[in-house]
Amino acid sequence: MTRGRIWLVAAVGFLIGATAGLVIWQAATGRFGRSSGDESRGGVDTATVAVVDSGEADASAATLDTMALSADDSGGRPGMGAAASENPIVLATRQVAPAVVSISVVLPQGAQGASALLMERMGRSYYRNVQSMGSGVIISSDGLVITNYHVVEGATGITVTLSDGQQLDAQLLEGVSRYDLAVLQISGQNLPTAQLAPETGLQIGEWVIAIGSPFGYLLADTQPSVTVGVISALNRDIKLTTGEQRAYLGMIQTDAAINPGNSGGPLVNSRGEVVGINTFIFSESGGSVGIGFAVPASRVLRVVDEVRRFGHYREASLGFGLKQLFPALARYLGLDDPVGALVAYVEQDSPAWKGGLRVYDVLRTINGQPVDNLDNLRRLMYNAKVGDHIPFTAERDGQLWDGEIVLTE
């Protein structure tokens, strides 16, 4: 390369470097993107605009029009324009977060390991109190708080801490193990509340916000934490594992981060409505991997309505047990159709008994659906409530007949 070309390349490099330096200096001093007629106010942080407005992390996606938001919008503060601070996620969080509480419980814990063996040999028992934490949300001005039942189950003391730092004793009004929901009562004045909304309008891919107090025992303040994600799936059924007593059916799945201490906190849509109660996650490490589940708000509303009207949640019961038919069993019973379920037992004077079902009847349809899978019946009963009328078709001695079960407590 000749000496002249070397000087030309060096000059071009110098100009490019100088231009880049000028842009960086202007951005740092708040001059970048200002209108020529307003040099007295700060500019807008381009990265902030790109992240908040478009949801993308690449600041280069921001347009010059976005970066040139007027100083009237920004209030003279870099990165604090209306577009940066008033998006739906921020507004929804601002609306619900004051009603989110931290729940601290005292649980009796028995001796474990070698200590338990020693106490057993001595003919004594030993219990100590341990603390556990979760989250909750205030849903009414008279102090009703919703959380998960597993957060307060077996507790000898419950303390609710509001977002402003107030600590209030709480009373457990009702715990519904089937739905893993608990209703607490606190006393206070001018309590902030959040609105429950049925999740019927939720769509997969819709933005949602998880609010709670993860690892609250490690934090020095009482403000809730916020994570954002989308609805990953609806009506998700979770298979029972060995030793599990509680089934989770019809759950909302989200990838919003849910961590230890988030249980019982609200899952909120972009309109500031509580559409679910965060309950558990799938994780091998104990931390969030983007697979979390929430109890739908419609279930919460049903429990709250029952508690308000009757003082407790009325568990609906059928009063009978079934065994799924399979070809060999159907042949043994002399049945031509292997689709159905054999009535294995019926409790006397139960709804099923009053509906006419007896042992060895074969249930063919229930609520208009063929009984080809006991999981369908389990889901039906999971969502059933006292007073529901459930029609069925059964077979007895080769004859089909119709009946109806009216659910009672």
Taking the domain 196-310, which CATH number applies? 2.40.10.10
CB 191 within 8 A of CB 320: no
From 45, 180, 255, 361, active-site residue: 180
Fold match between 100-185 and 196-310? Answer: yes
Q: What is the CATH number of domain 100-185?
A: 2.40.10.120
pLDDT for res 274: 96
Name the phi and psi angles at 101, rounded to 5: -125, 160
Q: How far apart are CA 182 and CA 155, in angstroms?
A: 12
Given the residues 232, 263, 288, 361, select the one marked as catalytic. Answer: 263
What is the rounded distance in angstroms from the CA atom of residue 169 to the CA atom of residue 161? 9
CA 175 to CA 148: how far, in whole Å?
A: 8
State the pLDDT at residue 14.
Answer: 46
pLDDT tens-digit profile, the chain (409 residues): 544 444 444 444 444 454 444 444 444 444 433 333 333 333 333 232 222 333 333 333 333 333 333 334 444 444 445 555 688 899 999 999 999 999 999 887 655 555 556 655 666 555 555 667 889 999 999 999 999 999 999 888 999 999 888 899 999 999 999 999 999 999 988 899 999 998 778 899 999 999 998 766 556 667 888 999 999 999 998 876 655 667 889 999 999 988 878 889 999 999 999 999 999 878 666 667 788 999 999 999 999 999 999 999 998 888 999 999 999 999 998 998 899 999 999 999 999 999 999 999 999 999 988 988 888 888 888 888 999 999 999 999 989 999 999 999 8
Tell me if residue 263 is catalytic: yes
Among 150, 225, 232, 255, the one annotated catalytic: 150
Q: Which fold has domain 320-406?
A: Pdz3 Domain (2.30.42)
Q: Is the pTM of this model over 0.85?
A: no
Which residue ranges make up each domain of the chain?
Answer: 3-92, 100-185, 196-310, 320-406
312 included as an active-site residue? no
Task: Please identify which residue in the block is written with the tokens 């009796």.
Answer: 108
Non-local CB neighbours of 150 within 8 Å, separated by 6+ positions: 180, 246, 263
- 389 is an active site residue: no
